[in-house]
Structure 1
């Protein structure tokens, strides 16, 4: 799905993968879950929302917990193959037009006993399609979503695939089957709804209770479906308000309705900024059977503090920000395993095209080519090789620059795409060439504001290397780093952003959210009709067409001087030997993907 995970989506592989039949996660006769076992996990950012489909909620810090609290129709294993989840099955029932049917298992229930069914998935479609929005955006200056008035419907999310479902879905009489019809073929239909940490989204009957005042669960579901089917603006305005922010909280909520879930774990404690505790829910009726009774996620943004917590026995597992010091410290601890690999996240720089700054044509007399030359000059000065050599190679001596906007180094299409996309020539740290481009543009010492997480030591180092090179080329660099950088994305107060994207899956349509005009992750206001047409083709592409289309897409991004990828994040999964079956996967939710297999000695 085309959503953001900040140090959060670019695709890591090319072809959409089909759902493969298998035993649902944790299925079988193992009753070890009754043992009084516990795992403590260290994480760098706190939970903030049960709704991972909104712009605010769609972060890995939320996904790792909602994934354990909610079942799904499919999930990625550590080989990036999509496995069948515990909620039911997904099948294509028609190719032309494309129709996809979701069938819920009889034992799929919310924790209050209400069935999980078509109403929940229909609400997710309404919330992520943008088909019901009456405005293109409804945000405050700081990027937070505004409360809709009675005449406004705005769901704070959009995905390219969901938007292709124009008609109200077919729903069986018992609500256990829902069939979506796509208006066009869609490459990633297998994983569009109900996959991974999102599951079916938030419970429709709870949304109805909060938004519409309907207490009866079935009547609430019916009211949600009626509002969607009738396109009832007044009702949908209230529904979208609840969906957008009603499931956000940063400490244990007094309202237990916000904790309604359909998976094996329930939230029992949440101390703001400190920790969240999940415990097995004895009311759970599904097939997942975790072996660990209690999981506590403890928060600390300092990676060395996490290593200290591992050493002290306060934390059993962690995936901290990887640095050479962190790796060295972890390797010195007895009884601890350190798995090092490329992670799902890649570092990149993006330009802002619409803030009247140095890269915006509006600040260059409306001259598109002049603005582009300034962007090209900044890219030319980007010391990507130097960054990899000084910051990443101490962790991975085989590390290379990432030269693709859409592919991980080593993936099947990477070599073919990077051979012709022009990234390595456009951003090669050539200060003289950068100076020349600025001279050709006729721009003298433009000031560039760079926004990044200034509490992150690796980003501090990156910023300094970029600053030194860019200033030699003739730019004036202004540091506008901010610990709250994520809330500033798209607010126009910076000219260059430096952060990471983490993939949620492997579909080619993930690119849509980053590069399409007005799309959710397109924070810099980039817009090109040629790009939009390429993305249109990718949405409906077959596997044998995708490499050529991705080449076309990446060439266009280079031609437009959109920005540049820098490197694939090195990932360290560090865990005490007392915890068994810890494995990470290079998409969200990383090492949590097989939580039901964890065992504690």
Structure 2
């Protein structure tokens, strides 16, 4: 996003992004309570219409940002992405590392004044695993004993390792020891919801302030479809004295130019989106900031055997891994990062990004592994692979369709890659859809090649790799490989850290050989920010926290 500080951004990733959390407008004075005067309102533009703010159903960053400011899980994450007490003030772990006993704080209340109970967590987790809920993130609860079996229809809710001891005590038994389970309890899917409200109001419970009852720092006051969510400080939140904002408003402005202009003229405080052309100048003016981001921007290829969605000749081409490999090798990732995105992004040479820790302390999982040269395209090898696939010089290869969600940055990347693929005689037509429609198209397999991106949910390579197991809700490529599935399962069951990472390395080897996805670059977070915004915490895992924020 800013050419002038590219080296700074790269250094953040290479020097230890795993614990780096950005703080907007950090003030040297730790006590900022006297800064809050009058009606403190912060307006944050999410950049698109949010599909859902239901903790069980959401699988997108925009929805997570809203949810993480409205709800709180058993644990919270500190600035190093490590678990600290949230609704649970303490816990014990059994000697075999399989059973957690969480003790909920007495002063944890819902925004309507009712106490948060262990039953609320049991209901929320069971609901997410219920196959009728069709939660794409249900697999984040497979670590719980019986979770996967219940979700796939071979087990029952009664067999789940979730036991309510009393109103303030929750006992959770896992399938296998899981070092990052505490961090998972801070993830949106595992946040509590109220059974009485959800069951009485169905899918519409998230749309009305009187039913969107939450237990975090902010509560819903107003919802304006396709325009905004208006939250206010939750007077029942146990840390309410630390919350400085009176109002937190989430806008859904999709036009980058309008969004950035609104930040510059003071109409909104921060924006997820802005024109690429404004990044460098904005940094110089102090209205653009870049933060580390543990994520990968990639293209997803529909490799599922779905003849209803794909023409036969397209399916034949995309099901050939040599065609997919050729498409990857024809991309000049360095050019995209330096001349198109211009935001300090790093050309991808793997799927799991830099910054995810490996088996050895202080070293990334990715390490020295490079599946291709990220500095340049390899057109000769790409042409050779096409020929081996039965398409010499691209002859006989059907025109392919590339789908992206409406966004100027996505458009520029797509147009650039379209030109790169033309150099190996692969013709591509570009299509775009609005965010909500696009998500449905990708999920349902109504595409050939689609833009995608994944941000880590916790600091472990598993957060990137287990989503490609056969049949999982976030597996939009419809990829299925038995050896891959077995390696992921073995990694989840393995207690020896070195062996676990060996399984995961082999799994990524398969993924990058089969190439159902084409990594393009490792993300950075680019945000337009008013200089008046202080103490907003921007996590490398994609969350943005406003519980300590204020406007100067």
TM-score, normalised by the number of residues in structure 1: 0.75
- Alignment check: 8 A CA contact 1:118 1:177 kept: yes
Matched, 1:461 2:412: yes
Q: Is contact 1:69–1:264 with CA below 8 Å preserved after alignment?
A: yes
Aligned counterparts, 1:367-386, within 5 A: 371-386=320-335
In the alignment, structure 1 residue 204 sits paired with structure 2 residue 173: no
Residues 522 and 247 of structure 1, relative CA distance in 2, 3 Å threshold: same
Which residue is 2:59 aligned to?
Answer: 58
| SS of corresponding position for 2:547 | helix
Q: Which residue of 2 aligns with 1:575?
A: 529
1:405 pairs with 2:357? no
In structure 2, the CA distance between the partners of 1:475 and 1:568, relative to structure 1 (3 Å rule), is same
* Distance change (3 Å), C-alpha of 1:90 and 1:127: farther
Distance 2:331 2:382 in 1: 9
Q: How far apart, in 1, do the equivalents of 2:259 and 2:357 lie? A: 31
**Pairing of 1:256-267 with structure 2 (within 5 A):** 256-267=209-220
Cα distance 1:53–1:428, how it changes in 2: closer, same or farther (>3 A)?
Answer: farther
**1:533 corresponds to:** 486
Q: State the partner residue of 2:384.
A: 436
User: 5+ unaligned residues in a row in structure 2: which ranges?
Assistant: 1-13, 20-29, 147-158
Contact 1:187 1:539 in 2 (8 A): no
Q: Residue 311 in 1 paired to residue 285 in 2?
A: no
2: distance between equivalents of 1:84 and 1:447?
53
Whole-angstrom CA distance in 2 between matches of 1:405 and 1:524: 14
Against the structure 1 CA distance between its residues 349 and 163, is the aligned structure 2 distance closer, same or farther, given a 3 Å change threshold?
A: same
Matched, 1:342 2:292: yes
User: Which of 90-99 and 38-47 deviates more?
Assistant: 90-99
C-alpha distance in structure 1 between counterparts of 2:334 and 2:31, whole Å: 50
Q: Is the 8 A contact 1:97 1:181 kept in 2?
A: no
Check the 8 A contact 1:40/1:295 in 2, yes or no. yes
Pairwise CA distance, 1:266: 1.6
Name the counterpart of 2:519. 565
Cα distance in 2 for partners of 1:387, 1:366 equals 29
Aligned-partner Cα distance in 2 for 1:74–1:305: 37
1:278 aligned residue = 231
Is the contact between residue 184 and residue 190 of structure 2 (CA under 8 Å) also seen in structure 1? no
1:186 has 2:178 as partner: yes
1 CA distance for matches of 2:500 and 2:353? 12
Structure 1 counterpart of 2:139? 159
> Structure 2 vs 1, CA of residues 577 and 347 (structure 1 numbering), >3 Å: closer, same or farther?
same
Q: Does 1:45 align with 2:25?
A: no
Aligned partners of 1:450 and 1:480 also within 8 Å = yes
Q: What is aligned with 2:119?
A: 119
String of CA shifts for 1:43-93, please: whole Å, max 9, x gaps.
Answer: 312344331221xx2322222222222222223344x33242431246352
- 8 Å CA contact 2:371, 2:512 repeated in 1: yes
Counterpart Cα distance in 2 of 1:580 and 1:311: 16
Cα 1:16–1:88 shift into 2, 3 Å: farther
3-state SS of the aligned residue for 2:303? coil
RMSD of the TM alignment (CA)? 3.6
What displacement does 1:101 show?
1.8
CA distance in 1, matches of 2:379, 2:223: 50
Query: Do the aligned partners of 1:338 and 1:575 also contact (CA within 8 Å) in 2?
Result: yes
Closer, same or farther: CA 492–600 of 1 in aligned 2, 3 Å: closer
- SS of equivalent to 1:424: coil
Shifted more, 517-526 versus 430-439: the winner is 430-439
* C-alpha distance 442-355 of structure 1, shift in aligned 2 (>3 A): same
Q: 1:470 aligns with which of 390, 410, 421?
A: 421
Q: Report the CA distance shift for 1:481/1:198 in structure 2 as closer, same or farther (over 3 A).
A: same
Q: Quote how far apart the aligned CAs of 1:536 are.
A: 0.8
Counterpart-to-counterpart distance in 2, 1:90 and 1:539: 26
Q: CA deviation at 1:521?
A: 1.3
Q: How many Å apart are 1:539 and its aligned residue? A: 1.5
Contact 1:86 1:286 in 2 (8 A): no
CA distance in 1 between partners of 2:291 and 2:106 (Å):
40
In structure 2, how many angstroms separate the alpha carbons of the residues matched to 1:119 and 1:87?
13
Does 1:247 find its partner at 2:205?
yes
Q: 1:406-427, CA deviations, whole angstroms, 9 ceiling, x for partnerless residues?
A: 23268668766363452438x9
User: In the TM superposition, what is the alpha-carbon distance from 1:287 to its structure 2 partner?
Assistant: 5.5
**Closer, same or farther in 2 for the Cα pair 1:319/1:478, shift >3 Å?**
closer
Check 1:261–1:536 CA distance in 2 against 1; reply closer, same or farther (3 A cut). same
Aligned mate of 1:554, from 490, 508, 515: 508
Query: C-alpha displacement at 1:32, in angstroms?
Result: 7.8
Kept after mapping to 1: 8 A contact 2:50/2:252 = no
Residue 96 (structure 2) pairs with residue 96 (structure 1) = yes
1:531-583 per-position Cα deviation (integer Å, ceiling 9, x unaligned): 11111122134443344233212211122223221112232233333232234
Residues 451 and 481 (structure 1), Cα distance of their counterparts in 2 relative to 1, 3 Å cut: farther
Match of 1:291 in 2: 244
CA distance in 1, matches of 2:43, 2:134: 38
Specify the SS of the correspondent of 2:268.
Answer: coil
Q: Deviations over 1:138-177 (max 9, x none)?
A: xxxxxxxxxx6xxxx7555421543542234464553211
More displaced 10-residue stretch of structure 1: 473-482 or 101-110 = 473-482
Q: How many correspondences in the alignment?
A: 508
Tell me the distance in 2 between the aligned counterparts of 1:261 and 1:469.
48
State whether structure 2 residue 499 is matched by structure 1 residue 545.
yes
Q: In 1, Cα distance between the equivalents of 2:404 and 2:538?
A: 25
> Are the aligned partners of 1:345 and 1:569 in contact in 2 as well (CA < 8 Å)?
yes
TM-score with structure 2 setting the length? 0.81
Q: Cα deviation per residue 1:506-533 (whole Å; 9 max; x = unaligned)?
A: 2333135421011121111111111111
8 Å Cα contact 2:287-2:530 kept in structure 1: yes
Distance 1:384-1:520 versus aligned 2 partners, 3 A rule: same
